[in-house]
Amino acid sequence: MASHRRPKQTSRARVTVLTATAAAAVALSAQAAQAAPAKQSVKTVKAKVDALYEQTEQATEKLNGATEKQDQLQKQVEVIQDEVARQQGDLNDLQDDLGTLASAQYRSGGIDPTLQLFLSADPDSYLDKASTLDQVSTKQAEALRQIAEKKRTLNQQKAEAASKLSELDQTRTELRKKKKEVQGKLAETQKLLNSLTAAQRAALAAEDARSSRSNERVNLGNDTPASGRAAAALAAATGKRGAPYVYGATGPSSFDCSGLTSWAYAQAGVSIPRTSQAQANAGQRLSMSQLMPGDLVIFYGDQHHVALYAGNGMVLHAPRTGTVVRYESINNMPFQFGVRI
């Protein structure tokens, strides 16, 4: 006779474990899907890279400003400290002179003047000595006045030196912060570039190569520079085509944007400020239609990029990290105004 045993039921605990395992598997699958997003298009990545490079250049110009301020403060501190040392030397000399006068007065005037006159066998001789003592007292008073004045000047200069040193210390702290910001932006950009596939990297490299080739056949027209110095500055910068962009660099083998323009004008014998924001205020402002070769061209609302106008709607500049000094259309960036030096 067949047995009619009832099938063994799955325990409630076992059902719970299986359910939990299945749920965990679903969750892990969802997390894996989130951790491996679809590859971004080259166009999307390029837009992100360009935005990061622009942020890097903004930070670079702030770094340049802090560097320039540090250099200026350092020179001011050195001048003040030299003056403090000179004034201290003068004060020491005055104090030595005063000591000599005081010793002479003591030796000449150690006895009460009335008694000296009474005891003197030669009153005329004493009167001559008394006149000398009056002169010594006058010199002593003048020496005291000079010493007091020197001390006031010295204290003022010491206070100024202390203030400048404090400002210099703050600037150095700011400089370290700005440098770290630039390096962080560059690291972020590199991380994004490293995430690209080999094909995407090749596509970006091909685009850069096209930009370089287009620089070999640029039509600059026949515009005439506004002045001899503008012509000389543009000629100097033209000779640096192909030099790499390096943040904070001012030549002669590498440049950032304002490093190139300040170096170029220095070759023309003209000193202009270091940063693009300061260069924006270094001369006469121009509209786009007024530009002539050698004029500065300021880009972006915060004026963080500067180039040299090359003619026929083209500028010569150091664009960003990973590029070289090259020609580019003036319309590739948001034009603000020109500056004639």
Residue of 150, 317, 320, 326 marked catalytic: 317
The C-alpha atoms of residue 64 and residue 60 are separated, in whole angstroms, by: 6
Structure tokens at 71: 């250099």
CB-based contact 147:91 (threshold 8 Å):
yes
Using CA atoms, how far apart are residues 61 and 68, in angstroms rounded to an integer? 10
- Residue pair 296/338 in contact (Cβ under 8 Å)? The answer is yes
The question of whether 304 is a catalytic residue gets the answer: no
Task: Considering the candidates 73, 257, 268, 318, report the single residue annotated as catalytic.
Answer: 257
| Gap between the Cα atoms of 67 and 176, Å rounded | 10
At 90, is the secondary structure helix, strand, or coil? helix
The side-by-side arrangement of strands in the sheet containing 305-311 is 284-286, 335-340, 296-299, 305-311, 314-317, 326-329
Cβ burial of 81 (10 Å; 0-12, 13-18, 19+) is middle
Task: Report the C-alpha gap between 182 and 292 in whole angstroms.
Answer: 33
Closest CA to 108 of 135, 68, 146: 135
Q: Whole-angstrom Cα distance, residue 87 to residue 70?
A: 25
Q: How far apart are CA 301 and CA 30, in angstroms?
A: 43
Quick check: is 183 catalytic?
no
SS3 286: strand
Judge contact between 260 and 237, C-beta under 8 A.
yes
Calculate ∠ Cα 322-327-329, nearest 5°.
105
Catalytic (active site) residue 4: no
Amino acid residing at 149: E
Residue of 240, 305, 320, 340 marked catalytic: 305
DSSP β-bridge partners for residue 305: 299
Q: Which residues are catalytic?
A: 257, 305, 317
